[in-house]
Amino acid sequence: MSPSIENSLEQARPVFPFTAIVGQEEMKLALILNVIDPKIGGVMIMGDRGTGKSTTVRALVDLLPEIEVVADDPFNSDPKDPELMSQEVRQRLQKQEALPIVNKKITMVDLPLGATEDRVCGTIDIEKALTEGVKAFEPGLLAKANRGILYVDEVNLLDDHLVDVLLDSAASGWNTVEREGISISHPARFILVGSGNPEEGELRPQLLDRFGMHAQIGTVKEPNLRVQIVEQRADFDAAPVEFRKSYQDSQDLLSTQIIAARKLLPEVQIDYDFRVKISQICSELDVDGLRGDLVTNRASKALAAFEGHTTVTPEDIYRIIPLCLRHRLRKDPLESIDSGDKVRDIFKRVFGYSS
């Protein structure tokens, strides 16, 4: 199937509106903040089956604005930012060629559970490279995900080596493929979203730590909300276009808020005293390394931008700090307190804060 036909089919499928999703506030907030600042480092979503994880991720992509890309480029190269261009596009720019530019929706790439490293990273045609003297590269899923979202369902069942590859690319923004002395690199700057069911096993702590945020979601317990969710799904399945129209105003409002937050983010400041207190909390929780400090600072600034102010408040930090630190804590099997509650308790004491 050609890419154009595939894209038109994707656009023809109505997507459940993000603003219609009931509950799961942690997951929705973590996803929005990563869209505002992709350098937060992605989201790991752990929860029961049937709690709307993949539905929410697809709904988020539908909210996002179109981006400018170089036409017919398999890496979604940005025509204005050299850091987000493939080598071929940079060479064309150096030759002062005019680049054809098109607008397209931000891509969401699903990574299949049985994917091979070649399928993910891409392959080099060694025979063609040796006989014709060209770097014949077949792009993989990381190329398609550049400047978009890479979604890995049941990431806790994925081979550890493949998870390492994904996290390395997500952290560096580049993917490098080496075969028989030939090396090819291309931009791979994407938001990594993983999801899984805790009953099927946890990720190793070393890998879990490299996800920026960790959202825990559960099955909605309140009968009234469960009925609302079931009725909404039935209405959407029966008449998806009409259902989407009823949420168009709230969708437009949230989309506008996200775009404004991305523009405001560079102006947001966090007080030095708050940064010291964040690091104090990380130290008291025995968080290894500095990722917890960095992510908490970034996420609190993204939330401030989302709320429309340029100075981070203690309330901003309180809302996001469990999402940033709970998966970095060393687990004590004898401890009954929830890790998120433990983070909040120490936050309240350090900040002198009462919610």
- Mean pLDDT over the full length of the chain: 84
The pLDDT value recorded for residue 325 is 93
Query: What pLDDT, in 10s, does the model give residues 272-282?
Result: 999 999 999 99
In a domain, 81, yes or no: no
Q: Are residues 118 and 212 in the same domain?
A: yes
What pLDDT score does 301 carry? 97
User: What's the total number of domains in the chain?
Assistant: 2
Strand-strand pairing, 191-196 and 182-187 = unpaired
Domain check: are 59 and 170 in the same one?
A: yes
170-175: long-range contacts, CB 8 A cutoff, minimum separation 24: 170/41, 170/42, 171/41, 171/210, 173/83, 175/121, 175/122, 175/140, 175/142, 175/143
190 and 305 in a single domain? The answer is no
Encode pLDDT of 135-172 as tens digits. Answer: 677 888 998 888 889 998 888 788 878 888 888 888 88
Q: What CATH number does residue 22 fall under?
A: 3.40.50.300
Q: Answer whether residue 300 shows pLDDT above 60.
A: yes
192 and 277 housed in the same domain: no
160 close to 117: Cβ distance less than 8 angstroms: no
Select from 217, 236, 257 the last residue of a domain.
217
Report if residue 245 sits inside a domain: no
The predicted-structure confidence for 19-53, as pLDDT tens digits, reads as follows 888 878 889 999 999 999 988 988 999 887 777 78
CATH number for the domain that contains residue 329: 1.10.8.80
Residue 348 is classified by DSSP as H
Give the type of residue at 112: P
In the prediction, which pLDDT does 131 show? 64
The confidence score (pLDDT) of residue 293 equals 94
Q: Is residue 238 part of a domain?
A: no
Reply yes or no on whether the pLDDT at 289 is more than 60: yes
Distances (CA, A) of 44 to 149, 192, 221: 13, 8, 22
- Does the active-site annotation cover 291? yes
Does one domain contain both 38 and 118?
A: yes
Shared domain check, 138 and 38:
yes
Q: Where are the alpha helices (DSSP H) in the chain?
A: 3-12, 25-36, 53-63, 87-94, 117-121, 126-132, 141-145, 160-172, 205-208, 223-238, 240-246, 248-264, 272-284, 291-307, 314-325, 339-351
From the list 291, 319, 328, 344, the catalytic residue is: 291
199 in the same domain as 337: no
pLDDT at 10 over 60: no
**Taking the CA atoms of the chain, what radius of gyration do you get in angstroms?**
21
Please tell me which residue, 6 or 251, carries the higher pLDDT value.
251
pLDDT of residue 134: 56
Using 50, 70 and 90 to split pLDDT, how confident is the model at 3? Answer: very low
Q: Are residues 280 and 337 in the same domain?
A: yes
pLDDT of residue 120: 87
- Judged against a pLDDT cut of 50, whether residue 7 lies above it is answered with no
Q: 46 with 148, same domain?
A: yes
Lowest mean pLDDT among 154-158, 203-207, 309-313: 203-207
**204 lies in the same domain as 291:** no
Torsion angle of C-alpha atoms 152, 156, 159, 162, degrees rounded to 10? 40
pLDDT digits (tens, 9 = 90+) for 85-99: 888 888 888 888 888
Final residue of a domain: which of 182, 199, 217?
A: 217
- Is 260 part of any domain? no
Q: What is the pLDDT of residue 143?
A: 87
User: Which of 180, 197, 217 is the last residue before a domain boundary?
Assistant: 217
The answer to whether 344 and 321 are in contact (CB under 8 A) is yes
- pTM here is 0.84
47 in a domain, yes or no?
Answer: yes
Same domain, 205 and 281: no
- Identify the band that residue 5 occupies on the pLDDT scale cut at 50, 70 and 90: very low
Alpha-carbon distance of 35 to 317, in angstroms, equals 18
Asked if the structure places residue 89 within a domain, the reply is no
Query: Buried b / exposed e across 192-225, counting CB within 10 Å, b at 16+?
Result: bbbbbbeeeeebeeebbbbbbbbbbbeebeeeee
Q: Tokens standing for 12?
A: 């023809």
Q: How far is CA 191 from the centre of its chain?
A: 3
**pLDDT over 90 at 303, yes or no:** yes
Q: Which domain holds residue 205?
A: 3-64+106-217
- 52: in domain: yes
For residues 134 and 198, membership in a common domain is answered with yes
Q: Is residue 247 part of a domain?
A: no
| pLDDT at residue number 157 | 81
